[in-house]
Amino acid sequence: MDEHKLADLFRDAVREAPPASFDEQDVLGASKLATARHRMRVATGSAFGVVVLAGVAVFGANALNPGPDEGSLAAAQNSSEYGATDSGTPLVPFTAGPNQPMPSGPVPPGRTTQAPPKSIPESTSKQGDDDPGRAGRPTSSTPTGCGPADRELAVALAHELPAAAGLTPTPAARSCGPGSRAMSVLVRDGGVSGVVSVILGPPDAKIGSDDIGTKDLPPGSASASAYAPSGRPLTVVSEPAKGSITSPFSGRVEDIARKLAEKL
Amino acid sequence: MDQREEQEFAEYFVARREAVRRTAYLLCGDWHRADDLAQTAFVALHRRWKKVRDKGALDAYVRRTLVRASIDESRRPWRRERTVEEFPDAPVTDAEVGESVATRETLLAGLAKVPPRQRAVLVLRFLEGLDVAATAAALKCTEGTVKSQTARGLEALRTSLGDALDDLRSAS
């Protein structure tokens, strides 16, 4: 049998076709309906996409920019979850203690009614430096008036005392009269460390008075004074370190005071 | 679509509706389903009428849509084709029924056992009269695929018919 006879068999099988159950209007109606459904699906999908994108944008904005209260509260909560700080200090619950009465009345916006917890540690410096503003010596019960560290005196002292060269001068923690200029530097004399101060007193001050930096010297201190050509008294004080009674360069304070007074 | 395009589609629909219905009938073996398949193909053509630039390729587009719809229909669970030992409606070959009717029923029953893809190739080639290249273009496959599908489809048709149609034994 060839392909023509097989084709005849196929054509004979469909020769008696019943009337069609659809016409052109049915096709047009179905086409319009399908097009409308397609547009509806596209619109629905687009709206869903816009809603999802808006939700993601809002969530991302909130995640990247938390409010100040939310951030601090979240940080406190996170710290509480771990139970202790890095230094090992155990944390207490984030509540006000009995000695911390709760504030009453309206609370300003952005503030909470709870007092800050005592257990939150202060931020520690990662640089290994000392407390800011401390000049190497305790300043309690020490009269002020010596002013800021005088750089000219520091240069002159470094010239006479090489051990003080390159060190950072600090304000002198001595008793100075008005108009005085002074500086101090923490030096090391072999195994002895201490503070050497240079005070250029006011013009009307006299050696032996209390306003040239020699008042209330700690035990073991050494001091020497000399008049500068301008008539101002110049005093060099060497104080031992805390807990020691030996001051650095105690045998040279007179020589240093004399030489510095000649220059100033 | 504008009025002119609607008129063009109407003319094409009238000219090709019966041919498309017959092809669909041989693909599925049921006139009701054939009408559904044909209508699906014409609806798809109407929605893409403005995008079909080559009006000479309309027949190929309708055939491709028809075959795909038939295959998709056969894959649906409630329409999935199942192979049975005996035909649900065995052809009655008594003297009151004409020999042509018996032959038609036998052929349709045999075609129902041929896989849909191979059945589509046989219908396009022997009912539509397409050659290998045109069939490959209509189905968007290679000519080698059409040849292999034709050979396998004829073999499957011979196997399913057995000795019912002696004329198919030597067909290739």
H-state helical runs in B29-89: 31-47, 58-75
Q: For A242, left (φ over 0), alpha (ψ -120 to 50), or beta? A: beta
Query: What is the CA angle A30-A35-A41, rounded to 5?
Result: 125
Q: A183 has which bridge partners?
A: A198
CA distances A75 to A30, A59, A163, B27, Å, are 62, 19, 48, 70
Question: What integer pLDDT is reported at residue A141 of this predicted model?
Answer: 46
Residue A93: CA atoms inside 13 Å, Cβ hemisphere, count? 3
Residue B107 pLDDT level (bands cut at 50, 70, 90): confident
Residue B96 pLDDT level (bands cut at 50, 70, 90): very low
Residues in chain B with CB shorter than 8 Å from the CB of A6 are 126, 167-168, 171
Task: Check CB contact under 8 Å for A1 and B35.
Answer: no
On whether any CB of chain A is under 8 Å from the CB of B167, the answer is yes
Average pLDDT score over residue span A87-94? 48
Residue A95 pLDDT level (bands cut at 50, 70, 90): very low
Task: Check CB contact under 8 Å for B14 and A3.
Answer: no
Question: What integer pLDDT is reported at residue B30 of this predicted model?
Answer: 87
Q: Answer whether residue A114 shows pLDDT above 80.
A: no
A174 Cβ neighbours under 8 A, 6+ residues apart: A142, A143, A146, A182, A184, A197, A199, A213, A214, A215, A237
For residue A71, the distance in angstroms to the closest alpha carbon of chain B comes to 56
What does pLDDT average to over chain B? 82
- Burial of A76 from C-beta contacts in 10 A (0-12 / 13-18 / 19+): middle
Q: Answer whether residue A48 shows pLDDT above 90.
A: yes
H-state helical runs in B78-168: 99-112, 116-126, 132-139, 143-161
Q: A234 has which bridge partners?
A: A200, A226
Task: Check CB contact under 8 Å for B126 and A7.
Answer: yes
User: Which tokens in the block code for residue A208?
Assistant: 């032996």
ipTM of the complex: 0.74
Question: What integer pLDDT is reported at residue A85 of this predicted model?
Answer: 46
Q: For A92, left (φ over 0), alpha (ψ -120 to 50), or beta? A: beta
Percent residues over pLDDT 70 in chain B? 78
> For the CA atoms of A63, A69, A70, A74, what is the dihedral angle to 10 degrees?
120
CB contact at 8 A, A247 and A240: yes
Backbone angles phi and psi of A226, in degrees to 5:
-155, 150
Q: Answer whether residue B78 shows pLDDT above 70.
A: no
Average pLDDT score over residue span A203-222? 82
Percent residues over pLDDT 70 in chain A? 69
Average pLDDT score over residue span B59-68? 90
What are the pLDDT digits (tens) for B30-44?
Answer: 899 999 999 999 999
Query: What is the CA angle A181-A182-A187, rounded to 5?
Result: 165
Q: Answer whether residue A96 shows pLDDT above 50.
A: no
Task: Check CB contact under 8 Å for B168 and A6.
Answer: yes
What are the pLDDT digits (tens) for A78-90?
Answer: 544 444 444 444 4
Q: Answer whether residue A61 shows pLDDT above 80.
A: yes
Q: What whole-number distance in Å separates Cα of residue A142 and Cα of residue A202?
A: 19
Percent residues over pLDDT 90 in chain A? 11
pTM of the model: 0.48
What are the pLDDT digits (tens) for A144-175?
Answer: 577 888 888 888 888 888 888 888 888 888 88
For residue B9, the distance in angstroms to the closest alpha carbon of chain A comes to 9
Chain A residues contacting B via beta carbons under 8 Å: 1-3, 5-7, 9-14, 17-18, 20-22, 24, 26-28, 30-31, 34-35
Q: What whole-number distance in Å separates Cα of residue A69 and Cα of residue B79?
A: 63
Question: What integer pLDDT is reported at residue B44 of this predicted model?
Answer: 93
Residue A233, classed as helix, strand or coil, is strand
Give the total residue count for chain A.
264
What does pLDDT average to over chain A? 75
Question: What integer pLDDT is reported at residue A60 of this predicted model?
Answer: 87
On whether any CB of chain A is under 8 Å from the CB of B102, the answer is no
Lowest mean pLDDT among A41-50, A58-67, A186-195, B146-155: A58-67
Average pLDDT score over residue span B96-115? 77
- Burial of A107 from C-beta contacts in 10 A (0-12 / 13-18 / 19+): exposed
Residues in chain A with CB shorter than 8 Å from the CB of B127 are 7, 10-11, 14
